[in-house]
Structure 1
Amino acid sequence: MAERKLAERKLDRIEVEIAGERSAVTIDLEESPLGWLARRRGRDGRIFISPAQLVAGERLRADFTRAQMTPRLTADWGAVARSSTRGAPGLTIPEAALAARQRLSRALEAAGPEFSGLLMDVCCFLKGLEQVEQERGWPSRTAKVVLSLALDRLARHYGLSEAAQGPARSRTRVWKAGDQAP
């Protein structure tokens, strides 16, 4: 049964840059509401969220996971053992988790207070859009539009865009003729 479940999963590899280091990560497109939106198209034929928006949302989720902020279902008995051996009363946080919390905080601050809650709900806690609309009392299909705006702001914070753009006009630096003899 577990093998069948694994075979049904839709995995995809994306490039993520964290702290200046690029790495390829595998994401489960069935698990994330963003993956579902990235595969769907609207009536006009366009996808609901762009690849840059997907990468931005998954990057936020990766930092959330690395920050060890996911809710626990059981007690963390490891903290008791660590606190007795080091003398600190359970306050030791790995540096990687602390750095991820700082990145997460900066990203949510850049998104602003109007979008940060929605980004946390959809990207980090994996709530569906219908659930978000219901909890917030929004009309149907508004969460998709607001999420798109929030992911645009998040992608801008991470420096992600759909296309590379250079200056409109640049100075010619070198002009060489092809009249050189062999």
Structure 2
Amino acid sequence: MRQLEEREFRDGRIAGPPSGRGRSVTVNLNESPLGWLKARGMISDAQYEAGERVRADYETASLGPCVTMRWDSGPRAPARGAAPDHVDPSHVRIAAKDRFDGAIAAAGPGLSDIVWRVICANETLPNAEKALGWPVRAGKLVLTLALDRIADFYGIR
């Protein structure tokens, strides 16, 4: 079953409800294993948000460098002491990689495997359990523990 929702796309990641100022994308909330778990009440809102942040950081960090011509306006001389108008995309990718690495480290060595398989690789829980050699239904417990730790890392509560 598809559950479509409009979300705003800003700073290279999918954010909350559209504000009408920028681009928006239609997201199927049930397309990922994490969305499937949330739709059935198996994970909390905080755990889902933590998983989505991990996925967004993973995908942002995985983007390659921009190798084509940029057609936006040229740089302007900023006022003395003013911040630059835009953020360099390579800095966004590096920051996302640092956050992703921190979130995986916060999950811990025994829990990060299931996080990567279910959230980043979009494997279903039964397939991830089988690949890791775990007993049936152990993956959900381990994933929820890892998502709690990741939620603490991101400051979600």
TM over 0.5: yes
Is 1:111 equivalent to 2:107 in the alignment? yes
- What residue is the counterpart of 2:35 in the other structure? 35
Alignment: residue pair count: 125
Please report how far the alpha carbon of residue 9 of structure 1 lies from its aligned counterpart in structure 2 after TM superposition. Answer: 3.3
Is 1:24 equivalent to 2:20 in the alignment? no
**Structure 1: 5+ residue runs without aligned partners?**
1-7, 41-46, 70-75, 83-92, 162-182
Contact conserved, 1:14 with 1:55, CA < 8 A, in 2? no
Identify the match of residue 94 of structure 2 among 92, 98, 110.
98
Identify the match of residue 140 of structure 2 among 118, 130, 144.
144
Please report how far the alpha carbon of residue 27 of structure 1 lies from its aligned counterpart in structure 2 after TM superposition. Answer: 4.0
Please report how far the alpha carbon of residue 97 of structure 1 lies from its aligned counterpart in structure 2 after TM superposition. Answer: 0.9
User: Is 104-113 or 93-102 further displaced after alignment?
Assistant: 93-102
Larger gyration radius, structure 1 or structure 2: 1
Identify the match of residue 133 of structure 1 among 117, 129, 132.
129
What's the TM-score, normalizing by structure 1? 0.60
Return the alpha-carbon distance in structure 1 between the equivalents of residues 7 and 111 of structure 2. Answer: 24
Return the alpha-carbon distance in structure 1 between the equivalents of residues 6 and 34 of structure 2. Answer: 14
- What residue is the counterpart of 1:52 in the other structure? 46
Give the counterpart letter for 2:16 in structure 1.
A
**Structure 2: 5+ residue runs without aligned partners?**
18-25, 70-88
Give the counterpart letter for 1:129 in structure 2.
L
Show CA shifts across 1:84-136 (max 9, x none).
xxxxxxxxx82211111011111111111111121111111111001001101
| Cα gap change, 1:133 to 1:109, in 2 (>3 Å) | same
| Cα gap change, 1:32 to 1:12, in 2 (>3 Å) | same
Is 1:9 equivalent to 2:5 in the alignment? no
What's the TM-score, normalizing by structure 2? 0.69
Is 1:157 equivalent to 2:150 in the alignment? no
Structure 1 runs of 4+ off > 3 angstroms?
12-15
- What residue is the counterpart of 1:4 in the other structure? none
- What residue is the counterpart of 1:64 in the other structure? 58
Please report how far the alpha carbon of residue 14 of structure 1 lies from its aligned counterpart in structure 2 after TM superposition. Answer: 7.5
